[in-house]
Amino acid sequence: MSSMFNAKLVKLLFGRLLFIVMILFISQGCFHQRKSRTVRKAENRVEQADIKREKVYEKERKDGLKHQYEIQTKEVRERMKQSRKNAEKFNRQMRKHEPFFKRLIRKIFKK
């Protein structure tokens, strides 16, 4: 009886030991996936540079549009202003419509 009990105990201990070793290997793999501090800092610097570049681009684009508007004659400016108002009015009306695919499906099933 005692030898049978010892065999079960050894199997149980071996199973638990194997389970613990597997968990340790998995946790080591997860730990090594973390990026080092220098890599994270470098990525952060690149990201900040991209954000700064986008801000500069937007500022230059807006300045260019403003300059284009300012060099026009008074009559042209009025026409531009009216066209912009018409476009905004039209776009507001379009936003009230259902999405394109819903309208398309309704047309298909209507036939």
Domain spans in the chain, listed from the N-terminal domain onward:
1-34
Neighbours of 100 (CB within 10 A): 8
Predicted TM-score (pTM) of the model is 0.46
Tens place of pLDDT for every residue, the chain, 111 residues?
Answer: 566 667 777 787 888 888 888 887 777 666 666 778 899 999 999 999 999 999 999 999 999 999 999 999 999 999 999 999 999 988 887 777 777 778 788 878 776
What sign does the dihedral 66-68-74-79 (CA atoms) show?
A: negative
